Amino acid sequence: MDTPIKIALVRCDKISETCPAADCFDSFNNKWGGFERYQGQSIIMVGSMTCGGCPGRRVSWLLKELMEKKGLQVVHFSTCVGGFDGKYNHQRCIHMKNMAGYAHDLGLEVVGME
């Protein structure tokens, strides 16, 4: 079995008050939606977090901690941050580019900016 790709999920803090991320985890567990790219590969969720509220105040240090402690490789921004996915029609977070920039600066792959 191949070494699993280590993934973290970033969700909108405001929307998390009314959303338990069930569809995000279904998507991860069944490798559909944003996780379809991993068909035939081993993946593991090493962290799931909210942004901490505008402007994504805790994303950078939590991602850095996950890299150091868990070997995080890829960050997935949920549709509540990234915008429309065919099922949900959320407006893209105005802080998305900055949060993705933090992840890129750490050398992480970013998914959800499409």
Mark 94-113 as b/e (b = at least 16 C-beta within 10 Å): ebbeebbebbeebebebbbe
Strand intervals (E) in 32-91: 43-50, 74-77
Question: Where are the domains positioned within the chain?
Answer: 5-111
End-to-end CA distance of the chain: 30
Residue 83: what pLDDT? Answer: 62
More confident of the two residues 112 and 10: 10
- Please state, in angstroms and rounded to a whole number, the distance separating the CA atoms of residues 48 and 56: 14
The domain over range 5-111 is classified in CATH as 3.30.1330: no
Residue 19: what pLDDT? Answer: 86
More confident of the two residues 47 and 92: 47
More confident of the two residues 1 and 13: 13
